[in-house]
Amino acid sequence: MLATGDVFAGYAIERQLGRGGMGSVYLARHPRLPRQTALKLLNPELFADNEIRARFEREADLAARLEHPNIVTVYDRGIDDGRLWISMQFVDGVDAATIAHPVPAERALHIIEGTAAALDHAHRNGVLHRDVKPANILLADADGRERVLLTDFGIARPRDDVHHLTRTGSFTATLAYAAPEQLTGAHLDHRADQYALACTLYALLTGVAPFEAANPVQVIQGHLQSPPPSLRARRPDLPAAMDAVLARALAKRATDRFDSCTEFAAAARRALSGTGAQPTVFAGARSVPRYPQPDPYGDGGPAPRFAAPQPNPGYAPPPMPRSSGYRAPVPRRKGGRVAVAVLLTFTLTIGGAVTWVWQDESTWISDTLERSRAHKDLAAMSQAFPQMVPTGFADGPGFEGRECSAYANTKIRNELLWELTFQQADAKWSCGSLDSADTDYFFYAFATAAGAVEAVNRFRGETGDQGNASTGSRTDHHREQVYNGGYSGSAVVSTFSDSARERWVLVFQRGSAFTTVEADMPVLLADIARFPLG
């Protein structure tokens, strides 16, 4: 951490403005020009991460393309003392997340209109922001009027970027404002930013995000499944037409939204003023974009020609200071006016996967919602062997009081050394007893039948053969477990030939180094004979 008076990359540090997961932002004095800048530094421990470093450098490159009065200016970037840095325009103001909420409608629309103009400029230049939210909108006093500036292009990417710099296993958009296609890993275009802008408008007007919940799973479900919440339910003073505008901008399908952010903002302005035709709320029909097909966001063609933002007749941003009921920014943070620089809010990482389609059954979100392929396998095994494993996915009693636990990703939890052989399974029921003389059993489900066969063959290669037996579609492989040259226990590995169970493997195990296969195997086979395996 740099202290006041330190010099970094020629910049004299005045104070720290903020710190996030990727780095810190400092107020600094330019080494040659008489101005203050916001200096963002990547955390030194992240410098070795090639992906994070590439994302950080790309932020400056993307933002440097954009010259617009509603976008924070990037001046320079470089590397000094093993740390990446970016210098940016310092904005002495507050962000839209810290002002008093709910925000008066006129001011909220003024903020959205300025942000919409910034986003459309970015889109025309081939850049998606991908993290639009109140905290990334800065508000500053400019000659007595409120200026709106969009900041934090830290996770932005060009439209045609196919080398995504967001790892599988991390999600870098703020969940409360993320479009459905962003959650599902589907193709993104400019309308994903519009969706986030609509969420921002709702948050400004109500004080809460559209699908706000303590549980992130509920937030995801809201974006993917729930209809847009009504503004009028929280703000009965607003025109009913505002609900129709937000319903279109928050449509689950990008094709049902407005063609541009400016068009959305203009529709919201008309709805608020009660003038003009109101937008159609699509129930499933596809809207036709105004720019030629094919969609340039899909094939890398020319950028769409959006109409330039037109000022609303008779409306001007309210003056600052305000003396006619217009509330001035009141920071929620303790300490009064806060100097806000670019990127005070950094990339939000949420354990999970970006590449996820709602129909996909193999990712962390589907696991969390208990609708993944692994959960379906766990439920199917519960149904097939109701006396062996509990119903559902929670821990519970198994056969003769054994404690059973369900795992939707067995790579996270393999308790025994020999289980590493089956670590590629998608799901596992683990049932055991505190009595070492009892037989423990494990039910595994693999993604494919070939995967199950491969795991069983590998286990057979690691153990000694004690014969086979067949019962219906089930084949039991009797195995002697030997580790470090000595007997470790007896096991029976069961596979199935019928299509409903061919991806499943059952393992029964008992014994220890203090017994023998001659003593353990007969008991193990007797136990299996009385287990309710169907």
Q: Where are the domains of the chain?
A: 7-87, 91-151+165-333+344-351, 372-530
First to last CA, the chain: 64
List b or e across 114-129, with b for residues whose CB sees 16 or more CB atoms inside 10 angstroms.
bbbbbbbbbbbebbbb
Which tokens is 379 given?
Answer: 């439920």
Q: What is the pLDDT of residues 507-534, one digit of tens each?
A: 999 887 678 888 889 889 998 999 998 7
Q: Which of 185, 101, 94 is nearest to 141 (CA)?
A: 94
Could you give the angle at the alpha carbon of 82 between the alpha carbons of 77 and 83, nearest 5°?
45
Position 20 confidence tier, pLDDT thresholds 50, 70, 90: low
Mean pLDDT of 79-91: 85
Confidence at residue 482, expressed as pLDDT on a 0 to 100 scale: 81
Task: Return left, alpha or beta for 159; rule: phi > 0 is left, psi -120 to 50 is alpha, else beta.
Answer: alpha
Taking 3-state DSSP, the helix, strand and coil percentages for the chain, each rounded to the nearest 5, stand at 30, 25, 45
Amino acid at position 294, single letter: P
- What mean pLDDT, rounded, does the chain reach? 77
Q: What is the pLDDT of residues 95-142, one digit of tens each?
A: 999 999 999 999 999 999 999 999 999 999 888 888 899 999 999 988
* Assigned superfamily of 7-87: Phosphorylase Kinase; domain 1 (3.30.200.20)
Q: How far apart are CA 123 and CA 112, in angstroms?
A: 16
Q: Of these residues, 95, 120, 131, 189, which one is catalytic?
A: 131
Burial class (CB in 10 A: 0-12, 13-18, 19+), 499: exposed
Q: How far apart are CA 451 and CA 504, in angstroms?
A: 10
What's CA 99's distance to the chain center, in Å? 26
Respond yes or no: is residue 256 known to be catalytic: no
Q: Which of 434, 432, 427, 376 is nearest to 406 (CA)?
A: 427
CATH for 91-151+165-333+344-351, options being 3.30.70.1350, 3.40.640.10, 3.40.350.10, 1.10.510.10:
1.10.510.10
Share of the chain above pLDDT 90, in %: 39
pLDDT: is 183 or 102 the higher one?
A: 102
The CA distances from residue 464 to 355, 486, 490, in Å, are: 42, 11, 9
Q: Which of 212-216, 347-351, 442-446 has the lowest mean pLDDT?
A: 347-351
Q: Which of 39-53, 272-286, 404-418, 482-496 has the highest mean pLDDT?
A: 482-496
Confidence at residue 415, expressed as pLDDT on a 0 to 100 scale: 62
Task: Return left, alpha or beta for 249; rule: phi > 0 is left, psi -120 to 50 is alpha, else beta.
Answer: alpha
> Which positions ≥6 away from 156 have C-beta within 8 Å?
58, 59, 62, 63, 122, 127, 128, 129, 130, 131
Confidence at residue 143, expressed as pLDDT on a 0 to 100 scale: 80
Confidence at residue 154, expressed as pLDDT on a 0 to 100 scale: 55
pTM value > 0.85: no
Mean pLDDT of 42-48: 73
- For tokens 């909420």, what's the residue? 101
Residue 206, pLDDT > 90, answer: yes
Mean pLDDT of 261-271: 96
CA dihedral 154, 156, 160, 165 (to 10 degrees): 40
CA dihedral 389, 392, 394, 397 (to 10 degrees): -30
Please indicate whether the domains covering 7-87 and 91-151+165-333+344-351 agree at the CATH topology level: no
Q: What is the pLDDT of residues 415-473, one digit of tens each?
A: 666 777 888 898 899 998 877 678 999 999 999 999 999 999 999 998 999 999 998 89
Residue-level length of the chain: 534
Mean pLDDT of 386-412: 82
Which tokens is 206 given?
Answer: 């109500």
Confidence at residue 2, expressed as pLDDT on a 0 to 100 scale: 85
